[in-house]
Structures are given as C-alpha cells and as structure tokens.
C-alpha cells in the first residue's frame, strides 16, 4: 500500500547503509522549521483552491510526520504505527455518538463531552485555557482562547456589543498615539486587534484567513504598481504618491472586473 511504501522509503533514507547523508543527519529539532513551513504551504494551497496543489502539499506535510516518527522509532520512543493507533483510539473514544450509543444534537454538546472525555483520560487541564500552543500565530491563538472562554459563557451577547467595545479600544489607542507613549500604544493596539478577533468570531469569519486574503490583495496591487512603473521605464522612487495611488485603484478595478 502507498502509505507503507512511504514509511519504507523513510527508513531507507535514514538507513546507515545506503541511506541519504542529509536525511540521516536530521534531528527532531532540525526538522521543526520544515514542519512549520510545510504546514503553511498547505494553507497557501488551500487558499489557492487548486486540488493538485493541496494534494501535493498535504503529501509534503505527511512526509514530515513520517520523518518525525522515524526519528522517534530509532530512539525507541514510538513508531508511526503508535502514532496512528493513538489518534485512532482517541477519535473513537471522543465520538461516542458516532461509535457508541451516546446522543449529541449540537456542536456545543459535542465539545462539552470532548472535554469530559479528556478528564476521563487523565488530561485534566490546570486551566480551561491550557493546551493552546503559545507558538500559534497571534490571531489564531486569540481566537482559540476566546472560543474556550465562550464555552463557559464568558462572552459577549451579540456582535453589536463587541463593536461598541472596539470603538472604545480604538479611542484609547488614539489617546496613546497623542501622548506618544510607546508602551501604551503597543498595549492599546493589542486590545484593538483582540477585539477584531472577537468581531471575526461573531461574524463567523476566520481572522487569520481574512488577514491572509488582505495580504494577498496588497501584494497583487503593489505588483501592479511595480510592473506599470517598469513598463514606463521609471523607478518607484521617481513616482509620486498620487501616481501610485492611481495605479492601486486601477488594480482594484481590474480585480472587480474579473469577479463580475
């Protein structure tokens, strides 16, 4: 089967006899950047909406999981089979409404029993907010923290209340700017961003994806300015802000025409 073949390839790459010098040299620590990079490449592929790219990047990410598992296997810690068995057993245990006789009608009920199952497994958290990786991107971490707190009712009642709080935080940020207090500026800006994540959550939008989309639009429109400048034989530094703004608007209009 393809998966077993992939595992065999990984073993061969790490083999002292006839393996690859680079692959043999890798450690759990040295592989970490590749794991992060491949994860983000999967996200880029998903955003592109191209199935072939998604398939390829998922394969690259799977290879990293197999790689880490092989390193652990060689150290006598666990194997790829242990990884698979562990997640299999966890999914069956935490879905008694699918693999057992329990009945849950809403996603909220499913999440509540998920936490109960963790307690039964001896994974009682010191805090409801524990277990959310500090290494997550800031927007995603804020979203996960807010979702956890909301499970026990620590949340706004409606999005209008969140918007009012955002207005309050923006006013405080403006005051910090006027006072030129660097610590206050950073603190208040953090509050504004945190409230924007709250708004995204209430609106059913993913803040990380929303920002990534905006970044994509910025890159596309700025590239239009660069290419237009190059076509006219000019450098960006030779153009006025008004000229660049006009090209920016031109890129926006072209994007709208493609959508219609």
pLDDT at 74: 97
8 A C-beta contact, residue 232 and residue 222: no
pLDDT at 123: 66
Residues 232 and 184 in one domain: no
Query: Is pTM, for the whole model, over 0.75?
Result: no
- If we measure between CA atoms, which residue out of 123, 250, 241, 142 comes closest to residue 199? 142
- Strand ranges inside 132-255, DSSP E: none
Residues 189 and 221 in one domain: no
Is residue 54 domain-resident? yes
Number of structural domains, the chain?
3
Is residue 139 domain-resident? no
The domain boundary residue, chosen from 91, 107, 136: 91
pLDDT at 105: 83
Q: What's the domain range around 73?
A: 2-91
Residues 185 and 218 in one domain: no
Is residue 24 domain-resident? yes
Is residue 184 domain-resident? yes
Residues 235 and 179 in one domain: no
d(CA 23, CA 16): 10
The domain boundary residue, chosen from 55, 71, 91: 91
8 A C-beta contact, residue 158 and residue 135: no
8 A C-beta contact, residue 202 and residue 162: yes
Residues 173 and 221 in one domain: no
pLDDT at 151: 85
pLDDT at 78: 97
8 A C-beta contact, residue 103 and residue 96: no
Q: What angle do CA 44, 49, 53 make, to 5 degrees?
A: 65
Residues 175 and 243 in one domain: no
CATH code, domain with 46 = 1.10.287.1080
Residues 199 and 215 in one domain: no
- Alpha-helical (H) ranges within the chain are 2-14, 21-25, 28-48, 51-74, 80-93, 96-99, 107-120, 138-151, 159-179, 182-203, 207-231, 241-259
Residues 170 and 220 in one domain: no
Which two tokens mark 138?
Answer: 């800031």
d(CA 250, CA 220): 12
For 67, 124, 244, the CA distances from 121, given in Å and listed in that order, are: 28, 8, 59
pLDDT at 257: 84
Is residue 99 domain-resident? no
Residues 170 and 183 in one domain: yes
The domain boundary residue, chosen from 70, 91, 112: 91
Q: How many CB atoms lie within 10 A of CB 184?
A: 15
- Tens digit of each residue's pLDDT (9 = 90 or more) over 42-81: 988 998 889 999 999 999 999 999 999 999 999 999 999 9
Is residue 124 domain-resident? no
Give the distance, in angstroms, between the CA of residue 235 and the centroid of all CA atoms in the same chain: 36
Residues 193 and 215 in one domain: no
Residues 179 and 217 in one domain: no
Residues 9 and 86 in one domain: yes
- If we measure between CA atoms, which residue out of 201, 208, 243, 202 comes closest to residue 226? 243
Q: Which of the residues in the chain have pLDDT under 50?
A: none
Is residue 132 domain-resident? no
Is residue 108 domain-resident? no
8 A C-beta contact, residue 34 and residue 64: yes
């Amino acid at each position: 089967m393809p998966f077993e073949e992939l595992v065999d390839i990984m073993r061969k790459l790490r083999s002292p006899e006839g393996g690859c010098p680079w692959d043999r040299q890798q450690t759990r620590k040295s592989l970490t950047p590749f794991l992060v990079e491949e994860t983000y490449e999967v996200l880029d592929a998903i955003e592109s909406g191209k199935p072939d790219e998604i398939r390829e990047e998922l394969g690259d990410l799977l290879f990293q999981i197999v790689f880490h598992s092989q390193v652990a296997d060689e150290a006598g810690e666990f194997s790829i089979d242990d990884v698979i068995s562990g997640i299999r057993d966890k999914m069956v245990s935490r879905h008694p409404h699918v693999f057992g006789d329990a009945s849950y009608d809403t996603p909220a009920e499913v999440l509540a029993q998920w936490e109960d199952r963790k307690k039964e497994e001896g994974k009682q958290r010191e805090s409801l907010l524990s277990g959310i990786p500090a290494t997550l991107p800031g927007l995603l971490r804020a979203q996960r923290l807010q979702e956890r707190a909301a499970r026990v009712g620590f949340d706004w009642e409606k999005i209008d209340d969140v918007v009012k709080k955002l207005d309050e935080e923006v006013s405080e940020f403006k005051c910090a700017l006027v006072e030129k207090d660097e610590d206050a500026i950073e603190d208040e800006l953090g509050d504004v961003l945190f409230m924007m994540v709250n708004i995204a959550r209430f609106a059913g939008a993913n803040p990380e994806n929303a920002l990534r989309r905006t970044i994509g639009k910025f890159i596309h429109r700025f590239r239009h300015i660069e290419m237009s400048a190059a076509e006219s034989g000019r450098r960006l530094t030779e153009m006025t802000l008004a000229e660049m703004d006009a090209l920016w608007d031109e890129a926006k209009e072209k994007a709208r025409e493609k959508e219609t």
